[in-house]
C-alpha cells in the first residue's frame, strides 16, 4: 500500500501522535483511566499501522525482532524486579511503601515502574504476535 | 529474615528465571538458569516444610497489604507438602531435559522450552502457596498456558492436536473455576480463602454458593482429569516431550487435587459438601468407574506412554476415592497418594523417555527383551511399576494401606476389597511390560545394548529410588499427610 498517497500521508501524520498518546495513557494511569496495558496496545498499534502501510520489512527495521523479544522479557523482569526491590529495602515482596521515605511517594514510585514494565511487555507481545502472524508463509528474506 | 520471605521467593525465583532465560537465549545458559531456579524452589520448599512442621502455618502479605484486602500467601502442612513434590519433580525434569529436550526439540526452540518449564513450575507452585482464590486462578492460567505450549513442542505432529484438545478443555475448566469464584465473591464479598470460609456460613444466598460449588467442582475436575472429564489426558501425555510428560503427570493433576481439597474442606466445609449435597457419593462413584475403566483401557495400549497415561487416570481415581471418604484415614491416603503417585509416575515417564530416546518410541514392540539391552532402566521401570501396583516396600503400598484403613474405618469392607481387587488390574498391565522386557527375545525395534545418557538416567533412577525409600521410610510422608488431613478436617466444621 506504499503507493497510496492518502494512506502514506495520513499514516505519517497519525503515527507520531499515536505514540505520544500511548505515552500519555502510560503516565496518566496513576490519575485516570489508562495504564501500562492500554498504553502498550496503543504503541504497538502505531507500529502495526506503519507495517500495514509501508510493509512488514520496513516495520521490522523500525522495531527489530531481537529488540521486540527482549522487550517481552524486560517488562516482566522490571515488574518482578520492583517486587524484589521491596524485599531488598526491608519490606515484603511488591511492597511499595518502602520504596521511598514517604509511603505515598513510595506507592507512586512502585506503581510507576510496575506499569512501565507492563507497558514494555505488552508492546513487545503485541508486536511479536503480529510479526509471527504476518510473517507466516513468507520466505526468510521476505520477512 | 530470608526465611520469612521464602513463601514469596519459592514462586518468584522460577518466575524471574523465565524472562532471564529469554534474554540469554543460549541453550546451555538457559538450562543452567532454569535448573538453578527449580533447585532453589526445591530447597526453599524443604525449608518451608520443616519450618511449618516446627512452628505452624506461615502467612505472607504481598505488598504488605494485610489480608483479606491484600493477597496472602499461606504455607501450611498441606501446601508445604505439595510444594516439595512440585519443586522436586520440577528440578528432576529440568535436569533430565539437558539431554532429553536437546534430543527431541530443535535447537532454536530449546530456550523457549526452558522458559515454559520455569513458568509452568512457577504457576503450579503459585497455585499451591497462594491463599487467595482469584490469585489461584491467575497462577492456574500461567501453569496451564505454559503446559499447552510444552505439550505442543512434542516431536509427533499429533502433539499439536493433543495440546489443542487440552487447551479447549483446560480453558473450560479454568473458566468454570473463575465463574465459581465470582459467585463466591458475589455471596461473600471476599476472595481470601480463609476469609471465605469464615463468611460463607453467614451468607444468605445459599443458591449462589451451591452454584459456586458446582462450577468449581466441574472446573477443577476437568483439570485433575476425573472420569469422565479425562479425555484430554492420554493424548497430551503420550505426545508431549518426555521431560514434559513426567513434569505434568507428576504435578499438574496433583495440584488440581490440592485445589479441590482446599475448596471442599477449607472453604465450603464438610457439612455443605457431604451433607447438603451428595458430593461424596458422586466422587465415590466416579472414582470407582475411573479406577476400573481406565485400568482396563490401559491393558490394551500398545504405546507405553499411553498405557501409563490411562493408569494415571485410574490412580487419580484412588486419590479422589480417598477424598470422598472425608475421614482422617481417607484424606491421609489421598494426600499421601498424591505424593507417592507423583514420584512413581515421574519415575516411570522419565524412564520411558530414556527408552524412547534409544528406540525412537516407547511401544510394546520396542521394549521386547529390554531387560538384557537396558538392564538398569528395565529394573527401575519394574520397581516403579511395583509401586504403582502397591506392593509392600514401595511408596504405592503406603497410600493403598491408608485407603484400605479408611474404607474399613467407614465400615465399607466391600470398598477395601475393591481397592485390593483393582490393584490386580495394575498387576496385569505392569506384567505386560515385565513379560515383554524379560521373557521375550529382543525384536527388530528393540534398541541395542546401552543405557540412556547419564544425565537422563540419574534423575529417573533417583525418583525410582524415592519410590522405595518412601515405601520404607514413611514418617515424613505419612506424618505430613496426617497433619494435612487434620488441618483439612479441623479447619471448617
> Dihedral of CA A34/A36/A41/A44: which sign?
positive
Q: Tell me: do B106 and B239 sit in the same domain.
A: yes
Question: What is the C-alpha separation between B86 and B93, in angstroms, rounded?
Answer: 10
Nearest beta carbon to residue A76 from set B19, B60, B64: B19
| Contact yes or no for B231/B169 (Cβ under 8 A) | yes
Q: Which three cell numbers stand for residue B301?
A: 495400549
Residues in chain A with CB shorter than 8 Å from the CB of B64 are: 86, 91-92, 95, 97-98
Q: Tell me: do B48 and B135 sit in the same domain.
A: yes
Q: Tell me: do B336 and B403 sit in the same domain.
A: yes
**Do B63 and A94 count as a contact with CB atoms less than 8 A apart?**
yes
Give the pLDDT confidence score for residue A143 in this predicted structure. Answer: 46
Q: Tell me: do B257 and B326 sit in the same domain.
A: no
Q: What is the pLDDT of residues B230-271, one digit of tens each?
A: 888 998 998 889 899 999 999 999 999 999 999 988 888 887
Assessment of whether the complete model's pTM goes beyond 0.90? yes
| Contact yes or no for B230/B291 (Cβ under 8 A) | no
Mean pLDDT (10-residue bins), chain A, 143 residues: 81 92 88 85 94 90 91 92 88 85 86 91 94 77 49
**Do B9 and A93 count as a contact with CB atoms less than 8 A apart?**
yes
**Do B19 and A77 count as a contact with CB atoms less than 8 A apart?**
yes
Residue B193 placed within a domain: no
**Do B64 and A97 count as a contact with CB atoms less than 8 A apart?**
yes
Nearest beta carbon to residue A93 from set B8, B18, B20: B8
Locus of grid cell 520469612: B4
Give the domain range for residue B25.
1-164+233-263
Residue B287 placed within a domain: yes
Looking at CA atoms only, how far is residue A91 from chain B in angstroms?
7
If you measure CA to CA, which chain A residue comes closest to B23? A70
Q: What is the pLDDT of residues B193-237, one digit of tens each?
A: 888 888 888 876 688 888 999 999 999 999 998 888 888 899 899
Q: Tell me: do B289 and B251 sit in the same domain.
A: no
Phi, psi of B130 (to 5 degrees): -75, 150
Type and span of the H or E element at B48: helix B27-55
Residue B459 placed within a domain: yes
Which of the residues in chain B have pLDDT under 50? 492-493
Query: Is B64 touching A (CB cutoff 8 A)?
Result: yes
Query: Is B66 touching A (CB cutoff 8 A)?
Result: no
Query: Of B381, B370, B383, which Cα lies nearest the Cα of B467?
Result: B383
Question: What is the C-alpha separation between B170 and B151, in angstroms, rounded?
Answer: 13
Residues in chain B with CB shorter than 8 Å from the CB of A70 are: 22-23
Residue B33 placed within a domain: yes
Question: What is the C-alpha separation between B63 and A97, in angstroms, rounded?
Answer: 8
Q: Tell me: do B247 and B330 sit in the same domain.
A: no
Locus of grid cell 506424618: B479
Give the pLDDT confidence score for residue B493 in this predicted structure. Answer: 36
Look at chain B and report how many structural domains it folds into.
2
Q: Tell me: do B394 and B342 sit in the same domain.
A: yes
Residue B224 placed within a domain: no
Q: Tell me: do B376 and B288 sit in the same domain.
A: yes
**Do B63 and A87 count as a contact with CB atoms less than 8 A apart?**
no
Most distant CA pair in chain A: distance in Å?
59
b/e for A62-86, b at 16 or more Cβ within 10 A? ebeeeebbbbbbbbbbbbbbbbbbb
Residues in chain B with CB shorter than 8 Å from the CB of A78 are: none
Residue B272 placed within a domain: no
Q: Tell me: do B105 and B243 sit in the same domain.
A: yes
Q: Tell me: do B257 and B371 sit in the same domain.
A: no
Give the pLDDT confidence score for residue A88 in this predicted structure. Answer: 87
Q: Which three cell numbers stand for residue B173?
A: 475448566
- Tell which phi-psi region holds residue A34, choosing left (phi > 0), alpha (psi between -120 and 50) or beta: left
Nearest beta carbon to residue A92 from set B15, B19, B62: B62
Nearest beta carbon to residue A70 from set B15, B23, B60: B23
Type and span of the H or E element at B59: strand B58-61
Question: What is the C-alpha separation between A10 and B71, in angstroms, rounded?
Answer: 47
Looking at CA atoms only, how far is residue A36 from chain B in angstroms?
18
Residue B464 placed within a domain: yes
Question: What is the C-alpha separation between B379 and B19, in angstroms, rounded?
Answer: 40
Q: Which residues of A touch B (CB under 8 A)?
A: 69-70, 72-74, 76-77, 80-81, 83-84, 86-87, 91-98
**Do B12 and A84 count as a contact with CB atoms less than 8 A apart?**
yes
Residues in chain B with CB shorter than 8 Å from the CB of A67 are: none
Looking at CA atoms only, how far is residue B140 from chain A in angstroms?
18
Going through B72-122 in order, the beta strands assigned E by DSSP cover 72-75
**Do A95 and B63 count as a contact with CB atoms less than 8 A apart?**
yes
**Do B15 and A91 count as a contact with CB atoms less than 8 A apart?**
no
Q: Tell me: do B32 and B151 sit in the same domain.
A: yes
User: What Rg do the C-alpha atoms of chain A give, in angstroms?
Assistant: 18
Residues in chain B with CB shorter than 8 Å from the CB of A80 are: 12, 15-16, 19
| Contact yes or no for B52/B80 (Cβ under 8 A) | yes
| Contact yes or no for B402/B333 (Cβ under 8 A) | yes
Residue B113 placed within a domain: yes
Residue of B9, B40, B60, B64 to mutate for A, most A C-beta atoms under 10 A: B64
Q: How crowded is residue A24: how many other Cβ atoms within 10 Å of its Cβ? A: 15
Give the pLDDT confidence score for residue B204 in this predicted structure. Answer: 67
> Dihedral of CA B404/B408/B412/B416: which sign?
positive
Amino acid at each position: 500500500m506504499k503507493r497510496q498517497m492518502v494512506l502514506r500521508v495520513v499514516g505519517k501524520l497519525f503515527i507520531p501522535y499515536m505514540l505520544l498518546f500511548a505515552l500519555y495513557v502510560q503516565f496518566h494511569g496513576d490519575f485516570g483511566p489508562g495504564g501500562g496495558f492500554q498504553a502498550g496496545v496503543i504503541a504497538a498499534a502505531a507500529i502495526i499501522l506503519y507495517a500495514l502501510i509501508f510493509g512488514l520489512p520496513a516495520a521490522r527495521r523500525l522495531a527489530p525482532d531481537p529488540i521486540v523479544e527482549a522487550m517481552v522479557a524486560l517488562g516482566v523482569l522490571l515488574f518482578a524486579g520492583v517486587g524484589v526491590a521491596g524485599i531488598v529495602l526491608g519490606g515484603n515482596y511488591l511492597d511499595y511503601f518502602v520504596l521511598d521515605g514517604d509511603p505515598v511517594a513510595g506507592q507512586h514510585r512502585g506503581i510507576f515502574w510496575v506499569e512501565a514494565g507492563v507497558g514494555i511487555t505488552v508492546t513487545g507481545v503485541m508486536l511479536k504476535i503480529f510479526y509471527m502472524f504476518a510473517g507466516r508463509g513468507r520466505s526468510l528474506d521476505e520477512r | 529474615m530470608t526465611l520469612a520471605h521464602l513463601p514469596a521467593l519459592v514462586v518468584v525465583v522460577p518466575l524471574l528465571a523465565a524472562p532471564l532465560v529469554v534474554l540469554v537465549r543460549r541453550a546451555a545458559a538457559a538450562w543452567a538458569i532454569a535448573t538453578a531456579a527449580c533447585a532453589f524452589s526445591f530447597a526453599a520448599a524443604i525449608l518451608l516444610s520443616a519450618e511449618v512442621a516446627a512452628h505452624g502455618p506461615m502467612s505472607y502479605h504481598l505488598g504488605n497489604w494485610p489480608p483479606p484486602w491484600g493477597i496472602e500467601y499461606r504455607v501450611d502442612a498441606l501446601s508445604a507438602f505439595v510444594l516439595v513434590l512440585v519443586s522436586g519433580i520440577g528440578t528432576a525434569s529440568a535436569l533430565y531435559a539437558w539431554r532429553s529436550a536437546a534430543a527431541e526439540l530443535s535447537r532454536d526452540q530449546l530456550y523457549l522450552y526452558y522458559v515454559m518449564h520455569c513458568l509452568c513450575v512457577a504457576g503450579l507452585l503459585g497455585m499451591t502457596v497462594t491463599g487467595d482464590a482469584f490469585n489461584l486462578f491467575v497462577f492456574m492460567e500461567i501453569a496451564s498456558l505454559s503446559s499447552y505450549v510444552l505439550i505442543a513442542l512434542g516431536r509427533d505432529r499429533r502433539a499439536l492436536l493433543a495440546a489443542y484438545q487440552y487447551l479447549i478443555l483446560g480453558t473450560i475448566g479454568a473458566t468454570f473455576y473463575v465463574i465459581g469464584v465470582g459467585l463466591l465473591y458475589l455471596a461473600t464479598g471476599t476472595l481470601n480463602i480463609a476469609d471465605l470460609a469464615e463468611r460463607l456460613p453467614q451468607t444468605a444466598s445459599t443458591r449462589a454458593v451451591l452454584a459456586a460449588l458446582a462450577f468449581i467442582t466441574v472446573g477443577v475436575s476437568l483439570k485433575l482429569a476425573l472420569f469422565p472429564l479425562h479425555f484430554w489426558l492420554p493424548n497430551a501425555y503420550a505426545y508431549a516431550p518426555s521431560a514434559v510428560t513426567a513434569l505434568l503427570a507428576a504435578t499438574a493433576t496433583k495440584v488440581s487435587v490440592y485445589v479441590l481439597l482446599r475448596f471442599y474442606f477449607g472453604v465450603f466445609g464438610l457439612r455443605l459438601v457431604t451433607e447438603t449435597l451428595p458430593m461424596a457419593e458422586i466422587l465415590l462413584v466416579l472414582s470407582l468407574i475411573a479406577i476400573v475403566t481406565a485400568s482396563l483401557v490401559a491393558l490394551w495400549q500398545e504405546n507405553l506412554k499411553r498405557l501409563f497415561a490411562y493408569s494415571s487416570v485410574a490412580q487419580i481415581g484412588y486419590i479422589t476415592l480417598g477424598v470422598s471418604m472425608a475421614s482422617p484415614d481417607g484424606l491421609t491416603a489421598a494426600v499421601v497418594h498424591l505424593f507417592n503417585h507423583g514420584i512413581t509416575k515421574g519415575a516411570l515417564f522419565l524412564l520411558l523417555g530414556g527408552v524412547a530416546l534409544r528406540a525412537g518410541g516407547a511401544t510394546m514392540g520396542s521394549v521386547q527383551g529390554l531387560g538384557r539391552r537396558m538392564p538398569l532402566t528395565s529394573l527401575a521401570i519394574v520397581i516403579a511399576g511395583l509401586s504403582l501396583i502397591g506392593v509392600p516396600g514401595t511408596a504405592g503400598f503406603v497410600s493403598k494401606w491408608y485407603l484400605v484403613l479408611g474404607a474399613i474405618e467407614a465400615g465399607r469392607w466391600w470398598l477395601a476389597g475393591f481397592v485390593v481387587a483393582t490393584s490386580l488390574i495394575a498387576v496385569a498391565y505392569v506384567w505386560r511390560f515385565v513379560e515383554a522386557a524379560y521373557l521375550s527375545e529382543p525384536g527388530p525395534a528393540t534398541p541395542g545394548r546401552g543405557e540412556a545418557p547419564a544425565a537422563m538416567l540419574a534423575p529417573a533412577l533417583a525418583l525410582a529410588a524415592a519410590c522405595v525409600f518412601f515405601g520404607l521410610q514413611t514418617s515424613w510422608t505419612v506424618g505430613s499427610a496426617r497433619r494435612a488431613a487434620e488441618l483439612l478436617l479441623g479447619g471448617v466444621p
